[in-house]
Amino acid sequence: MEFCLNSFADGAMAERFNQEMQKVIENIMDPNTDPTKVRKVTLTIGVKSNNKRELINVAVQGKCTLAAAKDVETQLLVDYDGDGKVIAGELKSGSKGQTYMDPEGDISTDTGEKIIKFK
């Protein structure tokens, strides 16, 4: 006895595989994921007979395991305010105490606070 997987369950098995494979390919092409991580496509075929063993129900399920998005890292500057309360801000300049030119072309502090705004 042979079964053609392309036409099994009116083509649903091949359709499930194609749907999950599409997700895997989209995940590989996502620049936020590691392209070298292994992804998986799994087709599960559940087979269950009735009590008389004359009828068999078959359920086809497809699923995939994708690569997680890469971690996004940043740095926080930590200090105390005048009242001794801990404060923190994201380091924007790349180095504590260094000013930089922000994306708008303005001069900003190391945490992104504008010092000189150019129009």
The span from the CA of 53 to the CA of 67, in Å, is 42
User: Does the model's pTM come out above 0.75?
Assistant: no
Instruction: Evaluate if residue 24 carries a pLDDT over 70.
Output: yes
Instruction: Evaluate if residue 117 carries a pLDDT over 80.
Output: no
Query: What angle (nearest 5°) sits at the alpha carbon of residue 67, between those of residues 61 and 68?
Result: 115
Contacts of residues 54-58 at CB distance under 8 Å and 24 or more positions apart, as own/partner, are: 58/9
Task: Write the DSSP symbol of residue 69.
Answer: B
- The pLDDT tens digits of the residues spanning 48-90 come to 999 999 999 999 999 999 999 999 898 898 889 899 999 898 8
Co-location of 53 and 90 in the same domain: no
Q: Kindly report the average pLDDT of the chain as a whole number.
A: 91
The count of structural domains within the chain is 2
Co-location of 13 and 45 in the same domain: yes
Select from 91, 94, 97 the least CA-distant residue to 112: 91
- The pLDDT tens digits of the residues spanning 97-106 come to 888 888 888 8
What are 79's strand-pairing partners? Answer: 87
Q: Is residue 108 included in any domain, yes or no?
A: yes
Which range marks the domain in which residue 23 is found? 8-65
